[in-house]
Structure 1
Amino acid sequence: MNDSTEDSAPEARITPRLIDALYTEAMVLADEARAYFDEAGRDERQTLDPFARVGFACESLKVTTRIMHIVAWLLTQRAVETGEIMAADGRRPERRLGNANDSDPAVIVQLPASAQRLITASIDLYDRVRRLDEGQVASEPAPSPARALMGRLERDLIWNRGA
């Protein structure tokens, strides 16, 4: 039997590479969603019954909202990584991943396959980012005032050198 803490789940570290990969994925998905819901999906939407058309419009907004919450969160993580904002500031409630409304499976099944694919992709990406956000909060130690002061001093020192 192992007495060490190796049995516990490894702590996920959000690296710049992960942030960049997720950001690229979010931006590609945003472009696909825009192209579909603004252009290609118009013809498909017209073939739907009135209730499904309303569902189509609502789901397009939900996809957009999920993606924008993801992008905002990733940009916050990037700002923490680059030192633009302090890590403790990145955990403030307004800097957490925004809440996105769930999609209704009964509505989704009535939509065209292309819309279903985009909705599912946005839900999947949002869920992955949400788990990262929740993991940070669970694993984050209490902020240290001394470390915060050191961080500000280091940033000021670097800033003054570059000026």
Structure 2
Amino acid sequence: MTTTSGAKTISFAGHAANSPQFDALYSEGMSLVETTAAYLDGPGRSAARKLRAPAAALYAGESLALTTRLMQLASWLLLQRSLNTGEMSREQVMQERRKLALGQESRSAPSAADFAELPAAFRELLEQARRLEVRIRKLDESLMRDNLLPEAGAGNQVIAQIDLLQTAFGRR
């Protein structure tokens, strides 16, 4: 980022996406995909057979939503890594990014009783995926704001710096 006076500003989101923290996030995300696939194909399948009908239907729907969510998150992580390694240009990544549907689920909440009947390991995978999604969405929102929106306050360095600080501390 550069202001109209030529002064360089810091992109905290851009730095985070090229940092060891991103590498850890990438590893965590891919590991969760693998762990979830192994669970759903093995112990999860056995556990689902033992559920009552309402909980079994909930398990089927939640496992589909979980798989979809994880594929979206993995796609985002792969796009970011491709950008970081130079395999794709920023424009290519932005074009592919628009195809993703991060956090655009609109489903009704399950009953607490049916949800409680789901296997504990499955509920933990759901929670891990939710937490990962929250982190990725925050990083993505910051990156999208930095990459797509015109620089706020470009004519006023004080406003530009305040905007950067608000972004860094999650107050936007």
TM-score (norm 2): 0.66
- Quote the Cα distance in structure 1 between the aligned partners of 2:141 and 2:149: 15
Identify if the C-alpha distance between structure 1 residues 109 and 141 changes in structure 2 by more than 3 Å, giving closer, same or farther: same
> Gaps (5+ residues) in structure 1?
1-9, 144-163
The Cα RMSD (Å) is 2.4
- Aligned positions of 1:8-157 closer than 5 A: 11-12=12-13, 13=15, 14-92=17-95, 94-96=96-98, 97-100=100-103, 101=105, 104-106=109-111, 108-140=115-147
> Gaps (5+ residues) in structure 2?
1-10, 151-172
- Quote the Cα distance in structure 2 between the aligned partners of 1:139 and 1:17: 20
Cα shift at 1:83:
2.0
- Quote the Cα distance in structure 2 between the aligned partners of 1:25 and 1:45: 26
Identify if the C-alpha distance between structure 1 residues 29 and 142 changes in structure 2 by more than 3 Å, giving closer, same or farther: closer
User: In 1, are the aligned partners of 2:47 and 2:119 still within 8 Å (CA)?
Assistant: yes
The letter of the residue matching 2:97 is R
Cα shift at 1:38:
1.3
Identify if the C-alpha distance between structure 1 residues 141 and 98 changes in structure 2 by more than 3 Å, giving closer, same or farther: closer
Residue 99 of structure 1 aligns to a residue whose secondary structure is coil
TM-score (norm 1): 0.70
Q: How many residues align?
A: 133
Identify if the C-alpha distance between structure 1 residues 19 and 47 changes in structure 2 by more than 3 Å, giving closer, same or farther: same
- Quote the Cα distance in structure 2 between the aligned partners of 1:34 and 1:102: 23
The letter of the residue matching 1:95 is R
> RCO greater where, 1 or 2, for CA within 8 Å and sep 6 or more?
2
- Quote the Cα distance in structure 1 between the aligned partners of 2:39 and 2:74: 19
What is the percentage of aligned positions where both structures have the same residue?
35
